[in-house]
Amino acid sequence: MSPLVLALAITVASVAAPASTAHAYERQLGVFVGAGYTGIATSTPYPPHAVAASVGVGVGLGDVWELRGHLDYGFHVSAMHRLGLGVDLVYLVDVLSVVPYLGVSVSGALSLLDPSLAMGDLRGDFLAGGLAGLDVLIGREWTIGVEVRVNVGVTDFDRAGLLITGLCRAQALFEI
C-alpha cells in the first residue's frame, strides 16, 4: 500500500470516527500542593502581604465537576499566621490537555496575631469567594497549573475585606 493511500485512509477513518469526549478528572482522585502569594486588597491593620501554601484533595464528580478540600497557610511576615480549611466546588472546562476551571469556595480561617497588633492573639473567621485556574495535563497522572482565589472575609470584613491569592499548583491523579 502506498504512503499516500495509507495517509488518506487514516484521514478518512479519523474524520468518520466519533470524537472521544474529554472527561477532565472524572473517576479520579487528585492530591495537590500549591505555593504562592496572598494579599489583602483592602485597607487593613494586618500586614497586607503573605507567603501562601496549600495542600488538598479533589474528587471528580463527573465529567465537568470536581469537589475539593484544602488546607491553606499564609505567613504575613513577622506579624500573623493564618491557617484555613476550605471546600471548593469547581466547574471544569476540559480542552484535552488544558483544563481551565471556575469555582466557588467557603473556608474557615484561624489567625494567630502578633500581640503588637493589639487585636487579641487568636481569631477565627469565615471566608467565602471564588476561584479560577488553569491546569495542564502531563499524561493522565499529573497536572501543573496556576490558580487565583478571591475571598471575602465575611466575619472580618472591616480588617481583611478582600483577600487575593495566586498559587502555582502541582497535582497527582489516581483512578478510583
> Percent of the chain, pLDDT > 70?
83
Confidence band for 19, pLDDT divided at 50, 70 and 90: very low
Confidence band for 29, pLDDT divided at 50, 70 and 90: very high
Confidence band for 122, pLDDT divided at 50, 70 and 90: confident
pLDDT over 70 at 124, yes or no: yes
For cell 472521544, name the residue: 20
129 close to 152: Cβ distance less than 8 angstroms: yes
| Choice between 69 and 82, residue whose per-residue pLDDT is larger | 69
| Choice between 149 and 121, residue whose per-residue pLDDT is larger | 149
**How far lies 173's CA from each of 35, 47, 162, in Å?**
19, 36, 32
Type and span of the H or E element at 38: strand 28-40
pLDDT digits (tens, 9 = 90+) for 53-72: 999 999 999 889 999 999 99
In the chain, what are the helix, strand and coil shares in percent, each to the nearest 5? 15, 60, 25
**pLDDT value of residue 116:** 64
Tell me the C-alpha distance between 32 and 63, whole Å. 19
Q: Which residues of 34-52 are buried (b: 16+ CB within 10 A; e: fewer)?
A: bebebbbeeebebeeebeb
Tell me the C-alpha distance between 59 and 102, whole Å. 15
